[in-house]
Every structure is written in C-alpha cells, then in structure tokens.
Amino acid sequence: MFNTVKQTVQPEDQKVSAEDLIPLSHLELDLPAPTTGWLIELDRRGISVITDDIGRQAISRDDARRLITEKHENERRQHEVAARTEQAAIERDRQWRASIWGGAPAVEGVSAAALMLQADKDAQPRRRSVLQEALANSEGMTFHSLAPTPEDEAS
C-alpha cells in the first residue's frame, strides 16, 4: 500500500553494461540516502533504477554524476551564503564598535567629572573673532554689542 514505487527493469534488448551502472549502495558512500528512501527520490526525479548483473539496485553513471554535481553545487551555494552572512555580521560588529563612546582621556590630577564638563563646553559652538568672521563671510561683518541684550537678560 505505502511502498508503491515501481522498480524499472531494462528489457533484454536494451541491456546496459555493468561498467555503466553505479549500485545505490556505492552511491550512498558519497551521497546520504534521502529521508524518503532512494527509490522514491529517484522516481520523483525521473531516474530509472536498474538491477545490475549481480542483482543490485543501480543507476546509470550519467544520473549518478548529475546527482553528485547537484550536491557539490548545493554545498558551494551554502558556503557562499555562509561567507556573506559572516561578512555582514563582521560589518555590523565594526559599526557597533565604532558607535561606542571611548570616554574622556585620563589626565592626572583632574577628576573625571571636570574632564567631561570641559569636553561638553568645548563641544559647544563658539563666537568667532572679528578677523575670522570677516575672512569667512564675504557679505560683511556681524555686529556683536557689548551691552547686554534683552535675550541675555532673560536667561
């Protein structure tokens, strides 16, 4: 009922020489047996199973060559996918490590809090000198009053 795969037997007028056949037991040394079994898998692929001259189940050398070539191509593709995945993981790790703040450099006799406050102050934008402003701005100079402005008094 369940094992309904028919084994193909060569007619007497189309005998295949024993040199052109690979027994399934020999093929299994290079290829793992399918979970469904050789007969079902080979029938699904349209490969005929022949009984050789000493009664073993065998397939033609061309079919065996095709199966082994498919296995090698699948392994090559798997290696390529694994290499791409590894490279992507390396790049993500590199970007993650680059985003980690390295901290303020240690200075002898200065506390860490003082260093961080100074680093924050240094990161704020500064007013440029009159000469820097004139050289950088071709449209003229900006006037900065020395007297306090209403904006300065509010803060």
Look at residues 87, 8, 18 and name the one whose alpha carbon lies nearest to residue 46. Answer: 8
Q: Domain ranges in the chain? A: 1-99
- Residues 51 and 16: their CA atoms lie apart, in Å, by 10
Query: Mean pLDDT, the chain, as a whole number?
Result: 82
Residue 135: pLDDT over 60: yes
Give the DSSP H or E segment for 62. helix 61-99
CA angle 130, 144, 147 (to 5 degrees): 135
Inter-CA distances, 24 with 10, 16, 48, 56, 91, Å:
16, 16, 12, 8, 45
Using only C-alpha atoms, the chain has a radius of gyration, in whole angstroms, of 39
Helices and strands of the chain, counted as H and E runs = 6, 3
Q: What's the pTM?
A: 0.53
Residue 28: pLDDT over 60: yes
